[in-house]
Amino acid sequence: MLPLSLSSAILALRQGRLSSRELTQACLDRCQALEPALHAFLTLSPELALAQADQADRRLVEWRKDPSQPLPPLLGAPLAIKDVICVKDVRCTCGSRILENFIPPYHATVVERLLAAGCVIVGKTNTDEFAMGSSTENSAYGVTHNPWDLTRVPGGSSGGSAAAVAAGCALAALGSDTGGSVRQPAAFCGVVGLKPTYGRVSRFGLVAYGSSLDAIGPLARTVEDAAALFEVIAGHDPLDATTMPVPRPALQLDGRLPARLRIGLPQEYFIAGLHPAVEAAVRAAIQVFEQLGAEVLPVSLPHTSYALPVYYLIAPAEASANLARYDGIRYGARAASPSSGGEALLDLFCRTRGEKFGAEVKRRIMLGTYALSAGYYEAYYGQAQKARTLIKQDFERAFEQVDVIAAPVTPTPAFKIGEHTDDPLAMYLEDVFTLPANLAGAPGIAFPVGFADGLPVGMQLMGPHFGEAVLLQAAHAYQQATSWHHSMPDVGKTLL
């Protein structure tokens, strides 16, 4: 039965060739079989999923009797949700011990919209703690493995979602992208990942990391599937003041490139240190776009080199403020305090955060707190915000010349588990090509374009604000002309 794309599964459900319960049970069985090796999930929700599947099957039976009644677009499709997004009555840990027992009393807006569209939620996927990481090695609950090579990382921080989709444990998934955390794992796992424009998708119910950078986006096997999810979750939300009052996108993916598409190639993204096979795969994909009728032009994003230091000032500063609430008193798990008296409150606060936060989260909190401290605020955080404006202006000027910008997603294929554990800077450099779009608030889509050393290689297209339709149409046209997205890792074939 598996693997299926989201679109093919929905067609099979509507034609009655497959029931939602059968499909959901197959996903749950695959999760159980692969989890010891993959560890893509932190929480499976079989009872909830099967109840939702049975409800979907009843609606499908009624619809077949009377096809004139409207049908939710994703009815009966089993999906996974990154464990930083709230699902009511399902544990949400954010990959951290400080939230190990947190049960949200409400749905995130994106989850509400998926449920209204008929989706089935099979579980919550593993993530770097509070989405801080590029490899899903920072989870307090263990490392997720790349289904293409179990000795390698799946990327991060949405590594659990990417691995689950690549291995066929879910038809699609939601992730979050603060500095590349949807696109980078999509590239490492050979799937499609879309980071929408900042303000296009509600963040209500997303546990905050960097509030001016966070974006929720879909991961799926195909561009068509990612577009179907994006159409459902996008749109203004009165519960999130940062969402923009723009209409929900109406996407028409006909397999053709947008007319007279101009693709920009930024010289700053083809640099020393870029893996030769990654560069070759991306340049070969550019040639495919040219064959499809696109015009390729050189562009410059001159402040790209500032993106990494700017991000690692702004994001930790926002994390320092957002994570201040986890003190064991007002919010989060609490460490037992051995003392009493006047020092008890401070002792409890220090012990809780010391015991319950992991090393990477502590590192970023300290970096952010320092950048915001008296006497240093303007020198660090203030300067970073000014440089961020320059990066945003680079994109705006480039999009006066071209419609989209093409670039690698990562400098290398997926690296070995533990390879960068003792070198935070090397880990941070894995996001060097994805950070600028977050700083600019621009949308980006990653999709597979080949292999290097037997591992998937991804390419990204970035567009102007609210330009997701062009990105999706262009990437879909590429997939109609190629077959990389049909490849599947061996671990995902074990149940076929």
CATH number at residue 42: 3.90.1300.10
Q: Which residues of the chain have pLDDT under 50?
A: 494-496
Residue located via tokens 């080199």? 305
> CB of 163 within 8 A of CB of 38?
yes
Please report the pLDDT score of residue 491 as a whole number.
81
Q: Note the pTM of the prediction, 2 decimals.
A: 0.96
**Going by C-beta distance under 8 Å and a sequence separation of 6 or more, which residues neighbour residue 67?**
none
Domain with 61 in it? 6-259+476-493
Burial of 88 (0-12, 13-18, 19+ CB in 10 A): middle
Residue 382 within a domain: no
Catalytic member of 5, 7, 82, 134: 82
Q: Is 20 a catalytic residue?
A: no
DSSP β-bridge partners for residue 123: 44, 80
Radius of gyration (C-alpha) of the chain in whole angstroms: 22
Say how many Å lie between the first and final Cα of the chain, rounded: 7
Q: Is 5 a catalytic residue?
A: no
The domain tally of the chain equals 1
Asked whether residue 103 is domain-assigned, the answer is: yes
Return d(Cα 416, Cα 269) in angstroms, integer.
23
Is the dihedral angle over the CA atoms 103, 108, 111, 117 positive or is it negative? positive
CA atoms within 13 A on the CB side of 437: 39
Instruction: Name the active-site residue from 157, 158, 176, 320.
Output: 157
Q: Which of 5, 19, 158, 181 is catalytic?
A: 181
Q: H/E element holding 174?
A: strand 172-176
Q: Tell me whether residue 19 is one of the annotated catalytic residues.
A: no
Q: What is the pLDDT of residues 320-369, one digit of tens each?
A: 999 999 998 888 899 876 655 555 788 888 899 999 999 999 999 999 99
Residue at 12 is within a domain: yes
Q: Which residue has the tokens 């008890």?
A: 344
pLDDT at position 340 is: 55
- 3-state SS string over 303-333? CHHHHHHHHHHHHHHHHHHHHHHCCCCCCCC
Percent of the chain with pLDDT strictly greater than 70: 97
Which residue shows structure tokens 């899903």?
136
Whether 342 is in a domain gets the answer: no
Would residue 397 count as lying in a domain?
no
Which pLDDT does position 343 carry in this prediction? 59
**The predicted structure's pLDDT at residue 345:** 81
* C-alpha of 125 from chain center: 11
Does residue 157 have a cis peptide bond before it, meaning omega lies within 30 degrees of 0? Answer: yes
